[in-house]
Amino acid sequence: MRIRHFVLAALLALPGPVLNAADADTSLIDALNSARVVELNFVWDRNSPLLGFNPPFAMALANTHAQTSGMIPNLSFAADMMYFSGQHGAPTLDALGHIGHDGKLF
């Protein structure tokens, strides 16, 4: 048991790599630059598949920056696009258990 404690103490006493803030920032930036982005989104457009009894897909500009100017002093904002899909639209993974049939959740 004493030998284990001695080895552990010796290992803890050894100098290890110490990262300063600049090294940590560089490491983070390097990791982000070498990362791969995987796009899991899909494109909503007029050709997106829709369930027959759902309303068609549409999009519209709700408000422009000019229309919201003055609503809050010194600030303008806009809801750029509103998406309406008719609920069960293009191929997506819906919430588990969102649809039921014969007492079973899918």
| pLDDT, the chain, mean | 67
Per-residue pLDDT reduced to its tens digit, 10-67: 555 555 555 566 677 788 888 888 988 887 776 666 776 666 776 666 666 677 777 7
Domain extents in the chain = 2-105
Measured CA to CA in angstroms, residue 81 lies from 60, 62, 64, 78, 85 at distances of 6, 6, 10, 9, 13
- Total-model pTM: 0.25
Measured CA to CA in angstroms, residue 75 lies from 62, 65, 79 at distances of 17, 9, 14
* 49: amino acid identity, one letter: P
Per-residue pLDDT reduced to its tens digit, 57-67: 666 667 777 77
